[in-house]
A and B are shown apart, each in its own frame.
Chain A
Amino acid sequence: MKNILYIVFIIGIFFTSCSDEFLDNEPYGELTEEQVSAPENIEALIISAYSILNGQGNEASNAFNSPASNWSFGDVLSDDAYKGGGGTGDQNQIHRMEIYATDPQIRDVEQKWAVLYEGVKRSNTALNVLNNSTEISETLKAQRIAEMRFLRGHFYFELIKLYNRVTYIDENGNYLSNTQITPEQVWGKIEDDFSAAFAVLPGTQSDPGRPTKWAAKAYLCKTYLYQKKWTEASLAATVVIDDGGYFLEPNFNEVFLPNNDNGSEVVFSIQYSINDGSPRNYNGSIGDRLMPPGGPRYPAYGFFRPSQNLVNSFKTDINGLPLLDNVDVTDTNTVDPRLDVTVGRPGIPYKDLGIEYSDSWARDLETYGPYGPKKRVMSANDPNYLASWPYVTSSNYLVIRYADVLLWKAEALIELNDLQGGKTYINMVRNRAKTGNYIQNLDNTGDAANYLIELYNDFTSKEEAITALRAERRLEMAQEGQRFFDLVRWGIADEVINKYLVKEQIKRGYLSGATFVAGKNEYMPIPQSQIDGGGTDEAGNSLSTQNPGY
């Protein structure tokens, strides 16, 4: 009997209900949704929204598929650059994009989209928490809301620029697929965000990473420009030029130095840092990590190689003006001094390394030719260059710089038929190139090449002015991820690129089969996964629709 009693005790343990407490584990190292709305934590949500600007959204080392600089989307797809790397099979999907065989399943197409929506999401999350926060001071709250709207504007701008027909999600979770909102409506939303940001943001920020009022106005200007709202664009540019307090750096080759990456020319830039305690230095220029040109001081990733066509476009005539004949540059030709800031050319000293760039640097000379990237590559001597994997730099990516704004102003004026006004702003940009330092030879005894650049005289026709403007944008903004989008918004992508392909394929055989299809290749396809997984309407049709031609 006694035995049984004790057995009952033990069985008692078995069938007492287990306290769920044993199974309740709080995650370590996390803030709850409640905690995150404390004012100091909201700041961390905001930082997180800024953080995605660089295109790095997970722990993988493939931000080059979604680069902030758009080197693949903006330059490789244009007439300015080749993919590069170890052959056409290396990052084959970018090769597919380069020969306009882009399809909706291409990795970069999807990843870039996802990263930009991550930006939208983080901005919206911060906005939502900010809107509901009562603890944070009204002034600060308003300013932070303006910052987040600026960021959201940026992300949508990038999206519409690349994909045209995009999903729109706001801070309250309202979701409109690309069949439920038109591109025009999205442009309107982007304008609203930048306008609202302009209204609230201060003229200066103690944190240079945060946008100022003028940055918002400049972005608004760009938004107008992309919609061909020339009057509004011109007015907005004027505000930035008159009140923004920006100056061009005196020397073109110093614009991209780390010391100037928040300098007087910088309107808005993405802040990069290295050796900041992050285990893999993903806060550096991670999207551009395949750019190092090879040779004795850099790893030979060898991607993003300037095209022959781009090099040729720097050739100048006897008047120091662009000679647009697309005949290969020779040593005796005169060239715009910006060429050797922009492109690594054999026989020209590379940065301050004390050595000349050589075609042996090129990773796959046979396929992608001798030229290497230079403009946004840091000197290997610079402490802001990380001489170990992933070989990134802390030099910011300049989203908008003052020269860009000046050329917008010029473009708007020319489109509004103020040809002389346009000339003035183009010449402001050219004048800096002309009067600044030129790349010197290794002995420092003279110019490294035959440089000649002069200012424009009066334009005789709108057509001439437009040609000059477009040429100037190409030279000044080369390798900054802009060219393709400019060609598209100018409506000349089809003409320019197909012409380029015909000539370029003689040197670059892999371009032989490539054709730019008008009405299709201006925009990236909508990722297949968006169409497949983005939900369906009541009739069972996908909520998201594909761009034409894909």
Chain B
Amino acid sequence: MKNPIRNRSLLLFSLKFDLKMKITVFLLFITLINIQAKNYAQNTKITLDLENVTIEKVFNEIESLTDFKFLFNRKDIDVNRIVSVKVKKEKVRKILDLLFLTVPVSYEVLDKQIILKSDTRKKTIPLPIIKEKEQQKEITGTVTDNDGFPLPGAAILVKGTDNGTTTDFDGKYSITVSENATILVVSFMGFSTQEIEINGQNVINIKLLSKTSSLDEVIVTGYTTERKSDLTGAVAIVDLDEVVTQPVADVNSMLQGRVAGVNVMSSGSPGAVTTLRIRGFSTIRNNDPLYVIDGVPTTTGLSLINPNDIESLQVLKDASSASIYGSRAANGVVIITTKKGKASDPKFSFDMYLGSQNVSNLPDMLDAQEYGDVYWQAYENDGITPNHSIYGNGVSPVIPAFLDAENTIPSANTKWVEEIFNPALIQSYNINFSQGNDKSHSLFSLNYFDQEGILKYTNFNRITARLNSDYKLFNDKVTVGENLTVAFSNSVGTSTNSLLGNVVYDAFRMPSIAPVYDINGEFTGYPPSDVQNPLGNLYRNKDNERNNTKIFGNLFAEIELIEDLKFKTNFGVNYTTFKSEKFNPTFEEPNAHRAINNLSVVNNIKFDWVWSNTLNYTKTFNDKHNLNVLVGLESISNVYEYTTASIQDLPTNELNIRVLNAGDQGTQTNTGDKIEFTLFSYFGKINYNYDNKYLFSATLRRDGTSKLLNNRWGTFPALSAGWRISEEDFFNKEGVLSNLKLRLGWGKTGNQDIPAYQTVSGFSSNPYYSNYAIDGSQTSTQTGYTLSRIANPDLKWETTTQSNIGLEFGFLNNSLNITADYFIKNTEDLLLFQTLAPDVGITNRGQWNNVGEMENKGFEFDINYQSDRTKDFNFNIGLNFAVIDNKLLSLGEGIDFIETNPAVLHSINFDQSTSRTAVGQPIASFYGHVVDGIFQTDAEAASSIQPNAQAGDFIFKDLNGDGIIDAEDRTFIGSPHADITYGINFSAVYKAFDLTLFFQGSQGNDIYDLSRYYNDFFNLANYNKHGRILNAWTTQNTNTDLARVSLNDLNNNIRPSSYYVQDGSYFRLKTFQVGYSFPESIAKKIKASRFRVYFETYNLFTITNYDGLDPEIGLQSYTSDDRNLDIGVDRGIYPSSKTFTFGININF
């Protein structure tokens, strides 16, 4: 038996997927046979209905119904304790749990003997004992947690007496109390004890609140779980209940300001990709963190995950916590666990919100007359006699009745930026069914989210369904289950934050004199300019939907092989399809038109699977040595393929004609490609703690990737330790300081995120640059093959080494908690597409290489105070902030800096290089000339080193002192990175009312306002200008920082300079929420256990000096690879909306 298996296991991966699956099934089968139903007695189920009897009576009853015998010492056990037991077909163990829940007694089941002994470690809670019967009144009810799930075993005590009881498996209780009893005290482990006034009620349902910052909270870390108090790494736990009402699609967006050291980078438009930066930018290319959802790693964004489905979210920030995910953990790991069914009767909840989103802070552009006036000023400054095709040639500009000779375009005074925005509806509906018993749990949820864009004719909507279930088999030795979500989304978006094709930017640029419509009611424009009517553009794009379908989930089985040793196998799938249809209709505007319509269709399929197998051994020796060992392996496969097709000249612009077959077949195109990569990993982790005081953890992971060749394998170790000083005998926990822990961590994580195949050379055909009509044809080409890349077979893993020191303080019985962390993160062997000297050609002008080093150092601080939650008025106040210093230490020999890829620079920046990633500077620092004031007189200008300058022009600093202002005089003129980012949360509850305020901000970051390129300079004369240009330098207005307006701009005032760099600091009231929970008497009428309504505002106000649309600039969306090289450049982004919502939460 042994040899064949060994031999086959050697073949494990030679046949990839199929064989591996077979072997697992085989091994599972063997394992299952092994775990035969032994000791059936333990699983015998009995029914008891005993009221107010001694505990001895219960023992006797159990002994009579089963083969069990109780063994105990009478001095340890109070056999006369009066209890009530009402159970139906329950296991004996469960009954014992209940019986001894609140008394210092523990039990052990040895074969058919139940040994009871005194257990002083267990805390004594008031004993639920009825000594004498003076029943005058019976009170019944249910004790649940905050979500309405029953809490079996909660203790209920009449205050001031020892009259008490416990709840049953459904959380129900019944207690007889004397007439003069006034208050019930309800307690349960892990929850705040609560006092309830009886007030003559017969039915009292009680909701217990889980204790904040409970150190016993169990959280999911790498492949396993840990108690929070045992953590040795920097792990942030996000309370999703607080954020889930935010009117945004994506859970990433909800994290802004919530976690110290985590920054959210969004690209604005509904449904667009939002991503996180955890502890700064650790590399140059892809900085996106790894997400692990129910054990399935994924790097694609979360916009298709329903935020309501998330049970818990942890951010693993440092290497010691993240390195178990070694291969892709360098940018941090976000662990998401979705909700599971709980042991209860079927539960149903409904949550919804409905709101209105509004744009605010729109820039004030020049109106039609002002634009003409400034134009005339420019003529005057240049010494030109005014002669304008629209405004005439008089001494002052004249607004004509029509802008064209044919009198079809009436002049207007359009506020274009207001024209393209409108208030928009946002709504979300979520239902959730769950149920379970001790053998199985299931949860089903359905969410519909619909966000209209504040930009007209844009929107995003999404439907997600989830089914999570698990089953216990073979005497609970085996748990199998699945988590599955299916999501569909549909969006109509538009490109923003690029200089070309950006509708927001076009609205900035379109002169106000241009009307929206011509006399025939058609979209029109401004004859001297090429800007398309922005509203027309949005309108023409309104049916260009993009559809995503995502199937994401996992199947798992966990087997307890022997006591304390569990084997878990988890197979996860992420299948995403993307389809977009873009139809560009014919249209005609004065200087922009499309004579032939076209349709292009894109289909992508992304299929990832991951299969992980782990063995986990947990054991406590001698009560003091707690050991947890995990070993595992994981294989990951990732396939991406796409096809595109397009056609032109469809017979009409109607919706129903928009299929590829309808166009001119001579214009058809298609492209397609396929990319695959695989990863294979071994990993192990040991957690050891001695007496819950001294904590140690060691991790080792070894990863192989198909993206590398000669250095395919990387090894990623991590070590960490914690000292719970407050557990020491010398420490007085009852003092002011109630908890104190020191954490130290060190570890390495890896990154191999480069395009596949960079280690092998080959030749490929590319329709953009390798074909040629050698035969002279006007409409066909022959296929050419071009070198695909300059391969580097010696590429290796990029490695990030991170050290972390953390301190956790708890004050006043842990109602005030402070966490402080300092880290140093150093990334070496940066994977960089190294641009080579241009004489290597243009097509592959570079090579992937391991060059350079990046450093992030930072300090994170988190403080939280929770007042006594059992009081009518209670509140929570939290503050977090992070200070992160990013610095590029090296880019390899001979290279001092890199800039945005020229291939994308044209469309996003109009060929302006604004940012430079240079050695010794933070990534993507702004780079340009330094403006050192304005020449106030022509004489001053003439005597300067700027040959063509006049009064009113910028004075540029001659930084190298060579007497010439040229490209060599550029320097670093600002940083997009904040000195400090912070979030402040305040929430309060008064009786049925609750209030939440959440502020968030950033201090010390700069914004490169590239929109000024068109909006502040008259050498792009035919575009509208920003209102601030009215303050441009003139002989009458000399005290200004805006250069004189000039059509010729001989001084080149427009060049990239510090003029564009603005302070981007802001402070924003992100959310403001007031809620009201209806009293149970009202909730009951609709059979609800909880019925809450709330009103919320999102982005209500922002305090900032930045005069653009929105200081939260985020990242470009063009590719995940290049966007880190131009952070914080504003080219007219899709702004954040100010949103007002009304919401309802109901639990049944």
A contact set with B: CB distance below 8 Å: 2-3, 6-7, 9-16, 18-25, 27-33, 35-36, 41, 43-53, 56-62, 65-66, 86-93, 96, 101, 103-105, 107, 110-111, 113-115, 117-122, 125, 167, 169, 206-210, 258, 261-262, 271-280, 282-283, 294, 296-297, 299-302, 359-360, 363-367, 380, 384, 387-389, 394, 509-510, 512-513, 527-530, 532-536, 544
Minimum C-beta distance from A166 to chain B (A): 8
A207-B1047 contact given A27-B760, A36-B785, A57-B842, CB 8 Å threshold: no
Q: Is the CB of B782 within 8 A of A47?
A: yes
Collect the chain A residues with CB atoms within 8 Å of residue B1054's CB: 88-89, 92
Q: Does B399 contact A (CB under 8 A)?
A: no
Q: Is the CB of A208 within 8 A of B775?
A: yes
Q: Is the CB of A18 within 8 A of B773?
A: no
A sample of 27 cross-chain residue pairs with beta-carbon separation below 8 angstroms, ordered by A number, consists of A7-B562, A10-B31, A11-B615, A13-B12, A13-B23, A14-B615, A20-B712, A22-B635, A27-B756, A44-B782, A92-B1054, A208-B776, A209-B772, A209-B776, A271-B777, A273-B780, A275-B667, A278-B781, A279-B600, A282-B769, A283-B772, A283-B781, A300-B591, A302-B530, A365-B389, A529-B838, A530-B839
Q: Is the CB of B776 within 8 A of A207?
A: yes
Q: Is the CB of B1022 within 8 A of A87?
A: yes
A86-B1048 contact given A10-B615, A209-B774, CB 8 Å threshold: no
Q: Does B527 contact A (CB under 8 A)?
A: yes
Q: Which residue of B lies closest to A206 (CB)?
A: B775
Collect the chain B residues with CB atoms within 8 Å of residue A90's CB: 910, 1020
Collect the chain A residues with CB atoms within 8 Å of residue B593's CB: 296, 299
Q: Is the CB of B530 within 8 A of A301?
A: yes
B591 in complex: contacting residue of A47, A60, A363, CB < 8 Å: A363
Minimum C-beta distance from A124 to chain B (A): 10
A25-B788 contact given A19-B13, A509-B384, CB 8 Å threshold: no
Collect the chain B residues with CB atoms within 8 Å of residue A272's CB: 773, 778
Minimum C-beta distance from A509 to chain B (A): 4
A-B pairs, 10 with minimum CB distance: A513-B948, A48-B784, A118-B841, A47-B784, A57-B842, A30-B762, A60-B903, A114-B838, A208-B776, A300-B591
Q: How far is the CA of A325 from the CA of B776 in the complex (A)?
A: 42
Q: Which residue of A lies closest to B559 (CB)?
A: A10
Minimum C-beta distance from A437 to chain B (A): 23
CB within 8 Å of A: which B755-793 residues: 756-757, 760-788
Render B564-601 as a binary contact track against A, CB cut-off 8 A, 1 for contact.
01010000000000000000100000011111111010
Q: Is the CB of B779 within 8 A of A276?
A: yes
Minimum C-beta distance from B387 to chain A (A): 7
A23-B705 contact given A44-B784, A59-B903, A510-B1048, CB 8 Å threshold: yes
A6 in complex: contacting residue of B561, B675, B783, B839, CB < 8 Å: B561
Q: How far is the CA of A530 from the CA of B584 in the complex (A)?
A: 41
Q: Is the CB of B633 within 8 A of A209?
A: no
A277-B902 contact given A18-B12, A121-B840, CB 8 Å threshold: no
Q: How far is the CA of A9 from the CA of B584 in the complex (A)?
A: 61
Q: How far is the CA of A150 from the CA of B667 in the complex (A)?
A: 33
Q: Is the CB of B561 within 8 A of A7?
A: yes
Chain B: residues with Cβ within 8 Å of the partner, total of 142
Collect the chain B residues with CB atoms within 8 Å of residue A20's CB: 704, 712
Q: Is the CB of A45 within 8 A of B670?
A: no
Collect the chain A residues with CB atoms within 8 Å of residue B1105's CB: none
Q: Is the CB of B1048 within 8 A of A512?
A: yes
Collect the chain A residues with CB atoms within 8 Å of residue B680's CB: 18, 22-23
Minimum C-beta distance from B381 to chain A (A): 10
Collect the chain A residues with CB atoms within 8 Å of residue B682's CB: 14-15, 18
Minimum C-beta distance from B140 to chain A (A): 48
Q: How far is the CA of A41 from the CA of B1017 in the complex (A)?
A: 53
Q: How far is the CA of A103 from the CA of B756 in the complex (A)?
A: 37
Collect the chain B residues with CB atoms within 8 Å of residue A32's CB: 762-763
Minimum C-beta distance from B786 to chain A (A): 4
Q: How far is the CA of A56 from the CA of B389 in the complex (A)?
A: 36
Minimum C-beta distance from B169 to chain A (A): 33
Q: How far is the CA of A60 from the CA of B903 in the complex (A)?
A: 5
Q: Is the CB of A366 within 8 A of B388?
A: yes
Minimum C-beta distance from A9 to chain B (A): 6
Collect the chain A residues with CB atoms within 8 Å of residue B947's CB: 513
Q: Tally of A-B residue pairs with Cβ under 8 A?
A: 415
A48-B669 contact given A20-B712, A22-B13, A87-B1020, CB 8 Å threshold: no
Render B666-709 as a binary contact track against A, CB cut-off 8 A, 1 for contact.
11111101111111101000000000000000000000111000
Q: How far is the CA of A48 from the CA of B962 in the complex (A)?
A: 45
Q: Is the CB of A58 within 8 A of B843?
A: yes
Q: Does B895 contact A (CB under 8 A)?
A: yes
Minimum C-beta distance from B1140 to chain A (A): 40
CB within 8 Å of A: which B24-63 residues: 27, 30-31, 34
A10 in complex: contacting residue of B530, B567, B595, B904, CB < 8 Å: B567
Minimum C-beta distance from A283 to chain B (A): 6
Q: How far is the CA of A384 from the CA of B776 in the complex (A)?
A: 13
A366 in complex: contacting residue of B16, B387, B764, CB < 8 Å: B387
Q: Is the CB of A209 within 8 A of B775?
A: yes
Collect the chain A residues with CB atoms within 8 Å of residue B679's CB: 23
Q: How far is the CA of A89 from the CA of B678 in the complex (A)?
A: 47
A513-B1050 contact given A59-B769, A277-B780, A529-B835, CB 8 Å threshold: yes
Collect the chain B residues with CB atoms within 8 Å of residue A61's CB: 906-907
Q: Is the CB of A88 within 8 A of B1049?
A: yes
Q: Does B110 contact A (CB under 8 A)?
A: no
Collect the chain A residues with CB atoms within 8 Å of residue B756's CB: 25, 27
Q: How far is the CA of A538 from the CA of B500 in the complex (A)?
A: 46
Collect the chain B residues with CB atoms within 8 Å of residue A363's CB: 528-530, 591, 1022
Q: Is the CB of B527 within 8 A of A360?
A: yes
Collect the chain A residues with CB atoms within 8 Å of residue B633's CB: 13-14, 18
Minimum C-beta distance from A73 to chain B (A): 16
Minimum C-beta distance from A512 to chain B (A): 5
Q: Is the CB of A60 within 8 A of B906?
A: yes
Collect the chain A residues with CB atoms within 8 Å of residue B912's CB: 92
Q: How far is the CA of A366 from the CA of B393 in the complex (A)?
A: 12
Minimum C-beta distance from A285 to chain B (A): 11
Collect the chain A residues with CB atoms within 8 Å of residue B23's CB: 13
Q: Does B353 contact A (CB under 8 A)?
A: no
Collect the chain B residues with CB atoms within 8 Å of residue A274's CB: 778-779
Q: Is the CB of B14 within 8 A of A19?
A: yes
Q: Is the CB of A59 within 8 A of B773?
A: no
Q: How far is the CA of A120 from the CA of B766 in the complex (A)?
A: 18
Q: How far is the CA of A530 from the CA of B838 in the complex (A)?
A: 6
Given contacts A88-B1054, A384-B778, A394-B779, 16 further A-B contacts (CB under 8 A): A13-B633, A14-B631, A14-B632, A30-B757, A30-B763, A56-B768, A87-B1019, A89-B1017, A91-B911, A101-B1052, A277-B780, A279-B669, A283-B772, A509-B382, A532-B837, A532-B896
Collect the chain B residues with CB atoms within 8 Å of residue A13's CB: 9, 12, 23, 27, 613, 633
A111-B763 contact given A14-B632, A87-B1021, A283-B773, CB 8 Å threshold: no
Q: How far is the CA of A54 from the CA of B962 in the complex (A)?
A: 40
Q: How far is the CA of A380 from the CA of B588 in the complex (A)?
A: 15
Render B646-672 as a binary contact track against A, CB cut-off 8 A, 1 for contact.
101000000000000000001111110
Q: How far is the CA of A532 from the CA of B615 in the complex (A)?
A: 54
Render B1-29 as a binary contact track against A, CB cut-off 8 A, 1 for contact.
01001100111111010000001000100
Q: Which residue of B lies closest to A534 (CB)?
A: B837
Q: Is the CB of A118 within 8 A of B843?
A: yes
Q: Is the CB of A207 within 8 A of B30?
A: no
Q: How far is the CA of A51 from the CA of B766 in the complex (A)?
A: 11
Collect the chain B residues with CB atoms within 8 Å of residue A282's CB: 767-769
Collect the chain B residues with CB atoms within 8 Å of residue A388's CB: 584, 594-598, 648
Minimum C-beta distance from B757 to chain A (A): 4
Q: How far is the CA of A13 from the CA of B613 in the complex (A)?
A: 9
Q: Does B213 contact A (CB under 8 A)?
A: no
Q: Is the CB of B763 within 8 A of A271?
A: no
A48-B786 contact given A22-B16, A509-B382, A510-B1050, CB 8 Å threshold: yes
